[in-house]
Amino acid sequence: MKLYNEHYPAPNPRKVRIFLAEKGLNIDLVHVPMRDRAHKTPEFLAKNGLGQLPVLETDDGRFISESLAICRYLEELHPVKPLFGKAALDKAMIEMWIRRAEFRLWMPMSQAWRNDDPRTEAVVKTRFKEFGQYSRTQVAEAMNWIDRELGDGRPFLAGHGFSMADIVLLCGVDFAKFVNMPIPAEAANLQRWHAAVSARPTARA
């Protein structure tokens, strides 16, 4: 099994690396340098027609795209220390918070990156700058909303235990910072959460 990977700050491969580290799993990493557009070559497009990272290649030569599909697959094979929850309601809460982090934070974050960051200007053909700027306000709103949600004192996004929802939020928050959207100073609960999950050794995976 191997994982086609790109280094930090690429947020999607990072989710899988942190997941692997939390589970104590080792998989061969194959570096696909996005800066050289290696993810858009015919060779790579044969693995994922969308030209996106990460991709997992199974031992029998099947390819799985989408970081969450990869992590769920690995959780199926290695159920010990579940990161998608164990009881039905825990699983539901984790899935709910994964999606809320994606739709509320990741989605406008991606739009800011595509439409309003000088580093994507050369590769994104059609940009909507005002929409990208508006997306930045949506990211700040999302962070403030999550901050209020964490105000009930729970240590992790989906409840008492560290989960995939924390991995999704961490990689989103850190990439947002890379796109010049740091956590607002007044979002003390989110700051506290971020310090705690960043202090886990797996955050450096």
Which neighbouring-strand residues pair with 30?
4
Residue from 49, 123, 124, 180 in contact with its own copies (CB under 8 A): 49
128 binds its own copies (CB under 8 A): yes
Q: Give the DSSP letter of residue 61.
A: S
188-198 and 129-149 helices, crossing angle to 10°: 90
Toward its own copies, which CB reaches closer, 138 or 200?
Answer: 138
Name the one range near its own copies by CB under 8 A: 6-14, 34-42, 128-136, 182-190. Answer: 128-136
Contact 193, 157 (CB under 8 A): yes
Cα separation of 94 and 3, whole Å? 24
Contact 161, 167 (CB under 8 A): no
107 binds its own copies (CB under 8 A): yes
Residue from 26, 126, 195, 201 in contact with its own copies (CB under 8 A): 126
Sequence-separated (6 or more) residues with CB below 8 Å from residue 92: 85
Closest distance to its own copies from the beta carbon of 126 (Å): 6
Cα separation of 123 and 157, whole Å? 34
95 binds its own copies (CB under 8 A): yes
Toward its own copies, which CB reaches closer, 56 or 170?
Answer: 56
Residue from 120, 131, 155, 182 in contact with its own copies (CB under 8 A): 131
Q: Is the dihedral of CA 129, 194, 165, 3 positive or negative?
A: positive
Residue from 38, 47, 99, 117 in contact with its own copies (CB under 8 A): 99
> Is 31 in a helix, a strand, or coil?
strand
Sequence-separated (6 or more) residues with CB below 8 Å from residue 192: 150
Question: Which residues, numbered 50-79, are part of the site for its own copies (CB under 8 A)?
Answer: 50, 58, 62, 64-66, 68-70, 72-73, 76-77
89 binds its own copies (CB under 8 A): yes
Can you give the binding site for its own copies, defined by CB under 8 A?
Answer: 49-50, 58, 62, 64-66, 68-70, 72-73, 76-77, 88-89, 91-93, 95-96, 99-100, 104, 107, 126, 128, 130-131, 134, 145, 149
